[in-house]
Amino acid sequence: MLEILTFKFNPSPDLLFGVSIVLICFFISYRIHWHPLSHIPGPTLAKITGQWRNIRYWRGTWHDDILQVHRKYGRIVRIAPNEVSVVDGQAARLLYGNGAIALKTDWYTTWDSPVGPPSLFSIRDKKMHTYCRKRVAGAYSMTSVLRYEPDIQRCLDLLVTKLEDHAGQGVIANLSEWTSAFAYDVIACLAYGAPLGHLESGSDLMDIRKSLYFTFSFNACLGHYPGQSWLMTNCGTQFLLGVLGKDHFTEFLRWTSNMIQLQMARKADVEKSNLLQHFLNMKDDAGNPVQLQDVIAEAGSLVGAGADTTASAIRACLHAIYSRREVLDRLRAEIDEVYTANSEMGNLPYIKCQKLPFLAAVIKEAMRLNPSITFQLLRYVPPSGLVVDDKLIPPGYPVGISPLAQNRDVAIWGKDADEFRPERWLDPNRSRHLDANDLIFGGNGPRMCIGRNIALMEVFKSVAQIVRSLDLEIVHPQNPWRVASYWFSYQHDFFVKPQIRGSLN
């Protein structure tokens, strides 16, 4: 009797293999045909696995890939089993605009700092974000930013001097390196009260730029993996990097802490107006002075988010201008006219830069075509769902808009969306509509880049002064640079031959 009740199941290897094949086929069929997102077009492999997207993230080609999938499949594309990419003005306002209730996805967790509080960028709780943004908002207001202009001008003068040195020696300059050195030195002046010395030395001191590029590349790509950035920040990985002599980022954090404590010891220097002073004056939710870790987190976030984005924008503008002689001539005429009317003026102030319509149009158009951010700005679809091109995306699924794809959408920008046409911004009525739909520096709304005013000052002033002072011959006009996109768009190896402008009015 006992033998009858005892039943042993010993499946043959062939049976196990067959069952596995059936389950895999069912799994694939479900994701392609019966999944709640199955009605949304996209690459077949992307419907089955997120590795379709991840592989393209890792190889740094997302700036090409996101444009290609939207051109092939339309304005709404399924780029992973549970993720949708869209381009749509109304969707952008619903996801990112004022009053938007769509929450950031867990992908942003990859940007949480391993020490101290989370950064303003990665905070997903809306109340916490509002509180943290409010306590630093004064530091980034236009009134405050205008007080930072002397620091920015000193760095800009040094950048132009370095390019003039290249011109005098008749040697080629890597504009990728020099614009990055400028942007990092500016941000360091504002965040720590002193430049990093990258412009003066002509090198990446402490490998800060290299380390942040490495960190951003991994964090952005690891956002869709279990563990996310912990895979890089855990003790074991950090120990290994230290043994290999590759942990430059720890050295940078140590330098950051020293710079901040030095500034804290010089509180009597109240006339020094920079972002660090604002950070030191922050209060916690109980009204007490914040901890050192809070100050380090704010300063570190400023460097991480504010340098490479600005450098990328400057390169986009200079390429657009110096690859089109008619644009260069028209822009120079506009800038020279200001100097002629203000003969006593030294360098062009930002207030006057903003009032130059063609300069503003050129900068907006260049950043539209080559925005600093290329990955999707991911949000969970709100409870009401999201409809794009008559296709419903159910609540709770991750959806995002790539600024690059949005800024090339023909429904918004017209059939010439891929063309460089600064004139599109010169019509005031149309310009207001375009401003409301572009996603330059995070677009509009409560989650737009808080450092936008600083970045725009750097871009406007640097473009105007370089155009006024220098001719830049692009060495490889057909292939001016090598782009790699890891959240940010990095234009590497942008080689130019500088020449001092022959005659200044």
Q: Which residues are annotated as a binding site for heme?
A: 449
- How many Å apart are CA 223 and CA 229, to the nearest integer? 7
How distant is the alpha carbon of residue 370 from its chain centre?
Answer: 11
What are the binding residues? 449
How far, in Å, CA of 212 to CA of 219, rounded? 10
For residue 120 the two structure tokens come to: 């303003």
DSSP 215: H
Q: If we measure between CA atoms, which residue out of 301, 329, 275, 260 comes closest to residue 457?
A: 275
DSSP-based helix, strand, coil % in the chain, nearest 5: 60, 10, 30
List Cα–Cα distances, 195 to 121, 181, 186, in angstroms: 24, 10, 7
Q: Distance between CA 185 and CA 197 in Å, rounded?
A: 7
User: How far apart, in Å, do the first and last CA atoms of the chain sit?
Assistant: 109
d(CA 484, CA 479): 14
CA 300/CA 297 separation, integer angstroms: 5
* Cβ(155)–Cβ(198) below 8 Å: no
Count, residues in the chain: 505
Sheet holding 173-174, edge to edge: 173-174, 495-500, 470-474
Q: Which residues of 195-231 are buried (b: 16+ CB within 10 A; e: fewer)?
A: bbebbeeeebbbbbbebbbbbbbbbbbbbbeeebbee
- Dihedral over Cα of 70, 73, 75, 81: its sign: negative
